[in-house]
Amino acid sequence: MAVTEEQQRIVSDPEVMMGKPTVRGTRITVEHILRMSAAGLSVEDLLAEHPNLTKDDILAAHAFAADYLRDRGADAAE
């Protein structure tokens, strides 16, 4: 199976942020991006607060979370 661009952008390393999924090359977690988005920050707001992120990084974090929930739901149904 081919690795998607989102999967290349989001990584988990036990040495970084206790292994939480982060944007590659940063210590910014997927959780942080989702919580900031849930608090009402726009993509532009997130980019202003974290200039080392790109719009594609933020979209990849959202896609990663959606995939995780989809896969977790499939596991629960089994």
- 2 pLDDT higher than 70: no
More confident residue, 5 or 15: 15
pLDDT, one tens digit per residue, over 18-51 is 999 999 999 999 999 999 999 999 999 999 999 9
Round the CA-based radius of gyration of the chain to a whole number and report it: 13
Q: What is the rounded distance in angstroms from the CA atom of residue 71 to the CA atom of residue 41?
A: 27
pTM: 0.85
Please name the residue that has the structure tokens 């790109």.
54
Three-class SS of residue 11?
strand
Question: What's the topology of domain 5-77?
Answer: Arc Repressor Mutant, subunit A (1.10.10)
Each residue of 51-73: pLDDT tens digit?
999 999 999 999 999 999 998 87
Backbone φ and ψ of 12, nearest 5°: -125, 125
Domain boundaries, the chain: 5-77
Task: Give the Cα separation of 43 and 14 in Å (integer).
Answer: 28
Q: Does pLDDT of 76 surpass 80?
A: no
